[in-house]
Amino acid sequence: MSIYDSLNEQQREAVFNTEGPLLILAGAGSGKTRVLTHRIAYLIEEKKVNPWNILAITFTNKAAQEMRERVDRLAGGDAGSVWVSTFHSACVRILRRHIDRLGFENNFTIYDTDDQKSLIKDICTRLNVDTRVYKEKALMSQISRAKDELITPDQMETNGAGDYNVRKVAAVYREYQAQLCRNNALDFDDLIGKTVELFQNCGDVLESWQHRFRYIMVDEYQDTNTAQFRLVSLLASRYENLCVVGDDDQSIYSFRGANIGNILGFERVFPNARVIRLEQNYRSTQNILNAANEVISNNTERKPKRLWTENEEGSRVQFRQFANGFEEAEYVVGDIAAARREGRCRYGDCAVLYRTNAQSRLFEEKCLLANIPYRIIGGVNFYARKEIKDLLCYLKTVDNARDDLAVRRIINVPKRGIGAATIAKIQDYAELMNISFYDAVRVAEEIPSLGRSLGKINQFAEFIQMLRSKAEHYSVRELLEEIIDLTGYVTELKAEDTDEARSRIENIDELISKTVSYQEAMEEMGRQVTLSGFLEEIALVADIDSVEDGQDYVLFMTLHSAKGLEFPRVYLAGMDDGIFPGSLSIFSDNPSDMEEERRLCYVGITRAEKELTLTSARQRLVRGENRFYKVSRFVEEIPRELVDLGRKITEKKPKLENVISAKSSYGQMKISFRPTPLEKKDFKVTKADSLDYGVGDTVRHVKFGVGVVKNIVEGGRDYEVTVEFDRAGVKKMFAGFAKLKKIQD
């Protein structure tokens, strides 16, 4: 039996069409990785393509590793030379060979987010940029977006048409790039952008890589940005054997620069492209898929497709609405505990997904009280912890002494008596002489007024030079252990004798373990073990790469982090208008913003294999204030017959005001304020003879804040007042409940 007999008809068509451009529209759970790996095997075994002529690009290290393992199983030893890597890893390998053409040294450093922020902060100080007005994170975001679009600082300034703020950002961007070059460093965006620049400026380099990669496959194509699109286009322009796989319905990263137009417009760029749709889902039940299909069908920016499966129909989607967020968290955690207790699932089968990280707190607290193991994806990155960052900066300094940020971080770690004033003098001298900070350290005798600090600086320089000489003969592990031993880093932590110090020592032990696993992995692949390679690998680690298979704990994560994963039981929490979709999308003038939120909902729904539960709360505590919400419009887009509302909110003949999916905000308000039976007995609202405010007056509500009265309708039992609030939007309410206070002009 052939390995291709296990594929369905559309999958086989995608595997066997190897020549020319090909767009594979792969719906969620449709086996796209299976198609890509079989396609690589088919190229090698049947088409006799040399493995080293094949490039397969993914977006995460985890996906790349999985693809590599599957290809090895299918094609055996013949697949060893296939490049299977992320965009960033592939570009690093290319730049390590050729970046000297762009004025960098090949042992460049890769800056992470913390490094970027530190550099931006220094630049803002140097350029007298007020960081209260121009926040470091905002500047980083604007610079990143420009790089995604291959826009230079000069182009940014020109495009700004004289706008003062744009000129300010462009000035920071220009200096930022200059400092990166001076430090022989690149940020993540540069890895793509500099490779594009290399190919555009060096035709011989581009031609050599075009001949190398005659067959190119790109996974998750809907998530590519302009720079990545340009990179792929350049590489594929000679042979055009480009196969891209993606799902426009799962394009959820526009905030990172992803351009959905890349996949929607593929056929315009490659007019002779074939399009194959993979619509059979192997992951979820049909009811879950039906819910996903109905939600995403409300989008207009998409290529039509409808998921189906041969799996069982399955149970209906569960929907539960609660009075507040505390009850919501209590229910979700209790439901997980009950299912685990009754043997219906493991903890590891369950995932709680939400729109923002801030929503995790209540679920964490309930898990702690219930003694349920859990893990949050997207917390503090291991490599961003102080002790790890310190030791990595020692390794960076040894590898690339031009990295000023790394050298400045460790010059007084552990404390050597080198203060901030001394460091500032060294920095000033380095800038004056146009040399690196470390080169200034090495000629500290020439820097005036260092005084007693001179001896300490010389000792530091000698220490680093000694480490650099040992690096030529030591393994990465040996070098790291030498740094730990000679600096006394762990000795100082042991002397503290605190739980925090012991935890830091455990982290350092884990870093040592990482050096060993890196060496073993490189030796297994027949690749050279280098300090630069080790630093490069850990710089490209993503949070989701740390999710371990087979672990028995509940996972908490944002919907963005969940993409690419699947779980037997999924809880989508916070399904409220204003939470998900977020208020920015609701009030945005750009319809694409709401469509991306809907795609995010589609991604969340299709993570579920067997059971899906959606939860909502009428009231939530946000920034210390109680806010009221109606059910998410995405829930309302799911047909009623696909949803189980639960016994608490289901009646044989529900009244209109009790139907959870009621669309009017007035109906939702009546639900929110509906009294309990006890309150009905003891509480009565008396209709006022008249109101002390009228249409057009400005009023204040205890929960919603300040607003303007838009309409007043007198009813038999009370006045119905419509108010447009500054923060909460338009609300309808009964005057007796609202207790609005007129604000005098």
Q: Given the residues 10, 11, 12, 32, select the one marked as catalytic.
A: 32
Integer Cα distance of 403 and 410 in angstroms: 12
Q: Given the residues 157, 187, 219, 595, select the one marked as catalytic.
A: 219
DSSP H stretches of helix in 526-581: 531-539, 559-562
Residue with tokens 């995460």: 60
Burial (CB < 10 A; 0-12, 13-18, 19+), residue 342, is exposed
Integer Cα distance of 111 and 393 in angstroms: 11
3-state SS class at 85: strand
Integer Cα distance of 643 and 287 in angstroms: 9
Integer Cα distance of 331 and 239 in angstroms: 56
Residue type, position 494, single letter: K
Q: Given the residues 220, 247, 349, 611, select the one marked as catalytic.
A: 220
Q: What is the DSSP letter of 357?
A: G
b or e along 480-507 (b: 16 or more beta carbons within 10 Å of the residue's beta carbon)? bebbbeebebbeebeeeeeeebeebbeb
- Geometric angle at alpha carbon 657, from 680 and 720, rounded to 5°: 80
5 is catalytic: no
Integer Cα distance of 170 and 155 in angstroms: 9
Q: Given the residues 13, 18, 33, 470, select the one marked as catalytic.
A: 33
Using the Cα atoms of residue 144, residue 148, residue 154 and residue 156 in order, give the sign of their dihedral: negative
Q: Given the residues 147, 607, 633, 670, select the one marked as catalytic.
A: 607
Phi, psi values for residue 242, rounded to 5°: -110, 120
703 is catalytic: no
DSSP output for 393-447:
HHHHHHH-TT-HHHHHHHTTSS--S--HHHHHHHHHHHHHHT--HHHHHHTGGGS
Q: Given the residues 224, 226, 250, 606, select the one marked as catalytic.
A: 250
Q: How far is CA 692 from the centre of its chain?
A: 51
Integer Cα distance of 22 and 54 in angstroms: 15
* Cβ-proximal residues to 620 (8 Å cutoff; 6+ apart), any chain: 324, 325, 576, 579, 626, 627, 629
Integer Cα distance of 149 and 143 in angstroms: 10
Residue with tokens 């949050």: 376
498 is catalytic: no
- Between the alpha carbon of residue 430 and those of residues 241, 427, 472, the distances in Å are 50, 5, 27
459 is catalytic: no
Burial (CB < 10 A; 0-12, 13-18, 19+), residue 716, is exposed
717 is catalytic: no
279 is catalytic: no
DSSP output for 660-679:
TT---HHHHHHHHTPPPHHH
Integer Cα distance of 519 and 497 in angstroms: 32
- Please list the active-site residues: 32-33, 219-220, 250, 607
